[in-house]
Amino acid sequence: MKKYTIYTTASIRDAIKKMDVEDTSFLVVIDSSDKVIGVFTSGDFRKAVLAGVDLSHDLVNVANTNYLYLEYRFTKEDIYKLFEVDMINYLPVLRDKELVDVIHRNEFFTDIEDIKKNNVRDIFVVIMAGGKGTRLEPFTKILPKPLIPIGDDPIIKIIMDEFAKYGMNKFYLTVNDKSRMIKAYFYDHTIDYKIDFIDEDKPLGTAGSLRFWKDKVFKPFFVSNCDIIIKENYEEILNFHEEGGYSITLVGSMRQYAIPYGVCELEKNGELKNIREKPEYDFLVNTGMYIIEPSILKNIPADKYYDMTDFIEDTKNKGLAVGVFPISQDSWIDIGQWAEYKNAIKKLVL
């Protein structure tokens, strides 16, 4: 049960780190007597981030104390009844307020992944695969970035597989640099996805080619860079986008940075106020995955280099809402640089 438990004295940041290490989206918060106080989930993490809560604050302040659980000596009927009440994935089992077990939905609904795959939503995915990948040179002087291997598959195939888990199997690939090699891979391999290519005659940036879909699509769609893997519930991201009424939703990863020194804080006259010893800071970083509403595609200039940052800024300047869906640090796998590429191999292959 140590995998799922964390003490009330821990910070929100500690809880997020533990979730990443233990590869879980659910923690049970216990006090010094090992009594259960509440639970903390990835959803609670997102609420805290979106509310601007300092992640150094005590976890107990944001833990959900009104949670569903099973009493020891439960029946299967009890389990099904609670899982049907709410689309939760975990149920703690308590005996005298102490945690004795954790039950996962998949233990009783083993076909949940098949249900997702069969419940195909009419939503397509655009993967930006036209960049030169200069940060991965000299590798990308020979091989296009989307075909960089991680294990037995190239990165672009792994990206597609993640989307396919949630019923999305229609992909558009924008290509420019080494486009023939990218197309050759898909022509030579049998892949059970619908794949079309959009050729850029010249580099159009990370958003310029999206104008292609102006007046051709009437539902929101996903956009992803070709050097990232997002290990998250894509259905929840889409629901967040639709419920928030956003024109663009970007997926942001919480990154923690520790300063290995004592940081001096000063008064206005230069007098030392205090020293913060090895402080940690949290930043919400743009991962390169988005959901776009088709109604704003007309705002993209034609045949012009145009980055996603420009698109986001222009969208906000028009008074339209841009949402951010927070995920944890380890939910974002970035292979854009050599150090990240090596980490990706450790996470996904080794």
User: Which tens digit of pLDDT belongs to each residue from 277-307?
Assistant: 888 888 899 999 999 999 999 999 998 999 9
Average pLDDT, rounded, for the chain: 87
What are the boundaries of each domain within the chain? 5-107, 113-348
Query: For residue 136, what pLDDT band results from cuts at 50, 70 and 90?
Result: low
* Per-residue model confidence (pLDDT) at position 47: 92
Residue 5, number of CB atoms within 10 A of its CB: 16
Write out pLDDT tens, residues 254-280: 988 888 999 999 988 889 999 998 888
**CATH superfamily, with its number, for domain 5-107:** CBS-domain (3.10.580.10)
The pairing of strands 170-175 and 262-266 is unpaired
Residue with tokens 């390169």: 288
State how far the Cα of 71 lies from the Cα of 92, in Å rounded to an integer.
9
Q: Catalogue the E-assigned strands of the chain.
A: 5-7, 26-30, 36-41, 70-71, 90-95, 98-104, 125-128, 149-150, 153-154, 170-175, 194-199, 221-225, 228-230, 248-258, 262-266, 272-277, 280-292, 322-327, 332-334
Encoded tokens for 138: 């000299």
Q: Kindly tell me the sign of the dihedral angle through the C-alpha atoms of 278, 284, 21, 51.
A: positive
Q: CATH assignment of 113-348? A: 3.90.550.10
Q: pTM of the full predicted structure?
A: 0.85
pLDDT at 115: 46
